[in-house]
Copies of this chain bind each other. A is one copy, B any other.
């Protein structure tokens, strides 16, 4: 997703080619810098330096730092709707589908550093940029939640899953979300067996979720 920018492979780009690449180059560099320092502490000049141009060039493409920031988030975000949809066609039981969906989400959220970083920016800057929060909810969070509810309902209809959790789909993805947040906070310092965590998540979830198992809680 993150295009490598400075690839001077061919090195000789025409002006026109260069120009077409610029916005993406800037957005990629901006993303890195904004993640590193947050919105306020990132200097436009740092972004420029990162791209290999000067301050002025940034302003050729983006009118203000705020606009650049919002474009950066938009550029870096991927629609979860797509992921959800791409899992949609599979056949199988509801739990198989949940397993499959969570697998895709782990690939997406946990293994892709960029998606963690987007989450960080939304948490950190959301108050100042309500638009990105709204957009994120619409394009990322809600489609996912909707799909989970759908699957629980499907499973419940088939007598496979309890219907108790329809109101709380967040529970299904909570371990992933938590892992993501912890990795945002502790970064490399976290030493965790991700494979094991993924398996344990699924195991714990489905044990709890399956019908015919009564909690005494």
Contacts and interface: CB of A to CB of B under 8 A. Distances in A.
A211 B38 contact: no
B162 A211 contact: yes
Number of copies of this protein chain within its complex: 4
A147 interface: no
Given A177-B174, A185-B133, A205 B208 contact: yes
B124 A123 contact: yes
Contact of A196 (B159, B167, B202): B167
A16 interface: no
Given A208-B206, A215-B208, A174 B178 contact: yes
Interface residues of A, number: 64
B168 A178 contact: no
A137 interface: yes
Interface in A179-205: 179, 181-182, 184-186, 189, 192-193, 196-197, 200-205
Given A168-B196, A177-B181, A206 B210 contact: yes
Nearest to A202: B217
Contacts of A185: 122-123, 126, 133, 136
Interface of A: 36-41, 95, 99, 120, 122-128, 133, 136-137, 156, 159-162, 164-165, 167-168, 170-175, 177-179, 181-182, 184-186, 189, 192-193, 196-197, 200-211, 213-217
